[in-house]
Amino acid sequence: MRPIDGLTVLTAAEMRTAEQASGVDEAALMDRAGAAIAEVVRRIGGGQEVLVLCGPGNNGGDGYVAASALRQAGIPVRVAALSDPRTDLARRARAGWAGPVEPIAEASAAPVLLDALFGTGLSRGLDEPVVESLHALSIRAVLTIAVDLPSGVATDSGALLSAYPGAALTLALGAPKPAHLLLPAAPLCGTVRVLDIGIAARSQASVLPVASLRSPAVDAHKFSRGMVAVVAGRMPGASALAASAAARVAGYVLLIGSATDRLPHAIVRRRWAEDALFDPRIGAVVIGPGLGPDEEARAKLNAALASDHALVIDGDALRLLDPARLRSRASPAILTPHEGEFAHLFPDVKGSKIDRARTAAGESGATVVLKGPDTIIAAPTGEVRLAARHVPWLATAGSGDVLAGLTGALLAGPDTTALAAASSAVWLHTEAARIAGPALIADDLTLALPAAIAQAGA
Ligand SMILES: NC(=O)C1=CN([C@@H]2O[C@H](COP(=O)(O)OP(=O)(O)OC[C@H]3O[C@@H](n4cnc5c(N)ncnc54)[C@H](OP(=O)(O)O)[C@@H]3O)[C@@H](O)[C@H]2O)[C@@H](O)CC1
Ligand SMILES: Nc1ncnc2c1ncn2[C@@H]1O[C@H](COP(=O)(O)OP(=O)(O)O)[C@@H](O)[C@H]1O
Ligand SMILES: [K+]
């Protein structure tokens, strides 16, 4: 049983391909899955009675195999089914279960509820009486565990096809799937752990790994650690937050434009001028936080786009940007839109959150950080990272400014890529929020960054 950080994420179709490519016979895969599920249920169920809900497909098949293994291990277990099995594999698994099978509507509750109704094959919402039974049984259970996925969520988009009571634990088979990470499904999964069933997972998507940051090299100097320019505008507090966060990572932070009185003294200030960005030591420019919507903002964005610098484009600058302008630039750009800014930038891009971030990155040639509770980072190569940890206290004004500054600082640093910089920034941002704790304000994130950076190994 493994935590999901850094693991490859597979869609339902990619999972099927991986199963076929594994060279392991499907029945053997199901036996492994069922045995691994039973082992976890036995260990955390504390010997209490288990009720296994089995659906008609192979998810149900896993349920029958797990029920048989639990019974052999001496755990009291009952099985309730939605209907007869419909696949050969599930029929084989059902035949291996020596006990009775009750209709779900008649099943009485047990302390441990194992949901093996539907997994990657769910094609529509569950019938209403089934949803009602599932809720009634779950309310009376002490512990609900979902096999592969909560029954009712769409594997690839994380959409909710029917109401789900919520599991405490979801045992993902072989690999995490998008629904384990995307809203609204992710919180219904509870803790997600992966059970290894011996397949090699390959795809371009993975769960955001724990950031790995190195301390500065022994011969480091401030410019070798990275110099960031933060372009300020109408709301100096926003750029001050970005610059303050950047200063925790970069060796040198330059704030260009109006500043607040309480800007840390370590941040160098300069007035805005046409040539303000003509400094070859600048490793990345952050533009957008508090920039404003006016002509001056537009001129600053034009100057940044005309420069050779790597860019982090956030906030107000995303309202002024034509993404097509990024195509001709040689140095990388990272866009950090929330959903509203994304819709403005890419009005025609539709699909799941993963599809939209990936398409936008491909079209613009920029790395796209599509923010929110389930932040997704997509590179123009098609590579995608999905954030796994959720700290809703981040939903506070200015927290995006902190992320933009942090991203710029990491992008300006040595030996990195836009994808790596954005990934580490998102991880550190959430870790800083976890450390800052409840009721945080964006300023607290900058104060918590040293501890978050230490957690990342630096
Ligand atoms: N393949 C392998 O090697 C391995 C697979 N494994 C396991 O298999 C799972 C995937 O199995 P699966 O493809 O059989 O799909 P599953 O989720 O059980 O359901 C599909 C069935 O349900 C039906 N149905 C759908 N929606 C419905 C609804 N709302 N209400 C009622 N019926 C509905 C649908 O019918 P249809 O849509 O055709 O009408 C079909 O009959 C995967 O998550 C993992 O647990 C592991 O054992 C490892 C090895
Ligand atoms: N409910 C939530 N759970 C976790 N993170 C969130 C949530 N809502 C917002 N965030 C994160 O907080 C930040 C908010 O950024 P943004 O919307 O640009 O705010 P602002 O413009 O006020 O700085 C983003 O990093 C986003 O991913
Ligand atoms: K399930």
What's the pLDDT score for residue 260? 87
CA distances from 408 to 29, 234, 342, 397 (A): 45, 20, 19, 19
What's the pLDDT score for residue 261? 85
Helices (H), 8-56: 12-21, 26-45
What's the pLDDT score for residue 389? 87
The answer on pLDDT for 415 being more than 90 is: no
The answer on pLDDT for 10 being more than 90 is: yes
Q: Is the dihedral of CA 44, 114, 136, 177 positive or negative?
A: positive
Q: Say how far apart CA 445 and CA 210 lie, in whole Å.
A: 18
What's the pLDDT score for residue 101? 98
Structural domains of the chain, with CATH? 12-204 (3.40.50.10260), 227-455 (3.40.1190.20)
Give the closest residue (by CA) to ligand 1 atom 31. Answer: 126
Q: What are phi and psi of 377, to 5 degrees?
A: -115, 125
Q: Residues 16-28: pLDDT tens digits? A: 999 989 888 999 9
Work out which ligand 2 atom sits closest to the CA atom of 336. Answer: 18
Residue 371 Cβ inside 6 Å of ligand 2? The answer reads yes
What's the pLDDT score for residue 259? 85
- Say which ligand is closest to the CA of 57: 1
Single-letter amino acid, residue 17 = T
Q: For residue 251, how far is its CA from the centre of ligand 2 (angstroms)? A: 26
Element spanning 310, H or E: strand 310-313
The residues with which 231 forms a beta bridge, in sequence order, are 256, 287
DSSP code string of 317-329: HHHH--GGGGTT-
Q: Residues 269-322: pLDDT tens digits? A: 999 999 999 999 999 999 999 999 999 999 999 999 999 999 999 999 999 999
Give the closest residue (by CA) to ligand 1 atom 48. Answer: 30
DSSP code string of 152-202: TB-TTT--BSS-----SEEEEESS--GGGTSTTTGGGG-EEEEEP-S----
Q: Say how far apart CA 431 and CA 456 lie, in whole Å.
A: 9
Q: Residues 219-253: pLDDT tens digits? A: 999 998 999 999 999 999 999 999 999 999 999 99
